[in-house]
């Protein structure tokens, strides 16, 4: 299917004060998108937004003002935040990019999630939203590095709503070097989230910022 024109959409990033959120905001702003950065306090949201040329505010206000909302919060606060914002996120395309990971002496590993994955947990908590999953494997240091003009990476986009997923694919494609690839339904999100643990191990071993490319597509 042809990807839609997303130029008029407003994108909010919950947890946008973290490295991944700010990095995505920086790249989307650079592509001409209107971006809002959310935080627990409006002051922190505005300060983070000012750093990357975006607007900012508290999580609830930016969620209510956006068409597409990217969830980039730590796993520990994922369920609580989404439950609080159910009303503000109703009718929105929600993009979950949270990776439920643990760390011990042997390195990173995927955590078991009762619903199956972070994205499925989001779908359960937000029955009135169009939940997708994407941006799990994008390196925050590369996103934030002004010397990196193009990112050599594919973004795996999952969702039960194909039209919503196409919007997310189109947003990913705005960032130079990046492609949004549809990768299945939300029930397949667990292994995509879990793959992040492997990429962290690769990065540590090879001192790299590894990503994913899909061949023959």
* Tens digits of residue pLDDT in 124-147: 999 999 999 999 999 999 999 999
pLDDT for residue 177: 97
Percentage above 70 pLDDT, the chain: 100
Name the average pLDDT for the chain: 97
16 pLDDT band (50/70/90 cuts)? confident
pLDDT for residue 1: 63
pLDDT for residue 71: 98
Quick one: which of 166, 49, 5 has its CA closest to 14? 49
pLDDT for residue 45: 96
User: Which residues have CB under 8 Å from 55's CB, separation 6+?
Assistant: 34, 35, 36, 37, 46, 49, 62
What pairs with residue 31 in β-bridges? none
Average pLDDT over residues 43-53: 95
Contact between 10 and 36 under an 8 Å Cβ cutoff? The reply is yes
What pairs with residue 180 in β-bridges? 155
């Amino acid at each position: 299917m042809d990807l839609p024109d997303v130029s008029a959409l407003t994108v909010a990033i919950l947890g946008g004060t973290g490295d991944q959120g700010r990095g995505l905001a920086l790249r989307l702003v650079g592509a001409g998108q209107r971006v809002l950065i959310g935080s627990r306090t409006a002051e922190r949201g505005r300060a983070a937004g000012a750093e990357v040329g975006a607007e900012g505010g508290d999580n609830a206000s930016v969620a209510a003002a956006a068409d597409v909302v990217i969830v980039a919060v730590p796993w520990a606060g994922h369920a609580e935040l989404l439950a609080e914002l159910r009303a503000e996120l109703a009718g929105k395309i929600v993009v979950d990019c949270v990776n439920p990971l643990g760390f011990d002496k042997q390195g990173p590993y995927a955590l078991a999630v009762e619903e199956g994955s972070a994205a499925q947990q989001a779908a359960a908590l937000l029955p009135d939203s169009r939940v997708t999953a994407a941006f799990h494997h994008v390196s925050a240091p590369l996103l934030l590095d002004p010397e990196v003009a193009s990112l050599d990476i594919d973004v795996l986009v999952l969702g039960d709503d194909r039209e919503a997923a196409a919007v997310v694919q189109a947003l990913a494609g705005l960032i130079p070097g990046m492609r949004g690839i549809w990768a299945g339904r939300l029930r397949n999100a667990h292994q995509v989230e879990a793959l992040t643990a492997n990429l962290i191990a690769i990065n540590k071993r090879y001192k790299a910022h590894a990503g994913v490319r899909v061949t023959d597509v």
